[in-house]
Structure 1
Amino acid sequence: MSELKKICIAAIVSSTMFVALPALAEIVVIVSAKSAATALTEEQASDAFLGKNNTLPGGVQAVPVDQADGTALREQFYSKVSGKTSAQMKAYWSKQIFTGKGQPPKEAGDSAAIKALVAANPNIVGYVDKSVVDASVKVVLTLK
Structure 2
Amino acid sequence: MQRTQTARSRRLRSALMLAALLASGTAGAEPVLVVNAAFTAALDDEAAAKIFLRQVKTLPDGTPASPVTQKDGPTTEAFRSHVLKKNASQLKAYWAQQVFTGGGKPPPELEGDDAVLKHVADTPGGIGYVESGKTRAGVRVIKR
TM-score, length-normalised on structure 2? 0.79
Alignment deviations for residues 61-83 of structure 1 (CA, whole Å, 9 cap, x no partner): 11110101x21211110111121
CA-CA distance at 1:122 after TM superposition: 1.8
Q: Secondary structure at the match of 1:125?
A: strand
CA-CA distance at 1:133 after TM superposition: 1.2
Aligned to 2:99: 97
User: In 2, distance between residues paired with 1:86 and 1:36?
Assistant: 29
User: In 2, distance between residues paired with 1:25 and 1:39?
Assistant: 23
Count of residue correspondences: 123
CA contact (8 A) 1:28 1:128 kept: yes
User: In 2, distance between residues paired with 1:55 and 1:36?
Assistant: 12
Aligned to 1:73: 75
User: In 2, distance between residues paired with 1:39 and 1:115?
Assistant: 19
User: In 1, distance between residues paired with 2:34 and 2:74?
Assistant: 18
Aligned to 1:10: none
Structure 1 residue runs of 4+, over 6 Å off? none
User: In 1, distance between residues paired with 2:82 and 2:124?
Assistant: 24
Aligned to 1:43: 46
User: In 2, distance between residues paired with 1:51 and 1:79?
Assistant: 17
Q: Does 1:28 align with 2:19?
A: no
Alignment deviations for residues 68-112 of structure 1 (CA, whole Å, 9 cap, x no partner): 1x2121111011112110010000000000000111010111011
Please give the residue correspondences for 1:50-61 in structure 2 after superposition, counting only pairs within 5 Å.
50-61=53-64
The alignment yields a C-alpha RMSD, in angstroms, of: 1.7
Q: Select 2:133's aligned residue among 117, 120, 131.
A: 131
CA contact (8 A) 1:37 1:57 kept: no
> Identity of paired residues, percent?
39
User: In 2, distance between residues paired with 1:49 and 1:37?
Assistant: 19
Q: Secondary structure at the match of 1:29?
A: strand
User: In 1, distance between residues paired with 2:75 and 2:100?
Assistant: 27
TM-score, length-normalised on structure 1? 0.79
Name the aligned partner's letter for residue 60 of structure 2: P
Deviates more, 1:128-137 or 1:80-89: 128-137
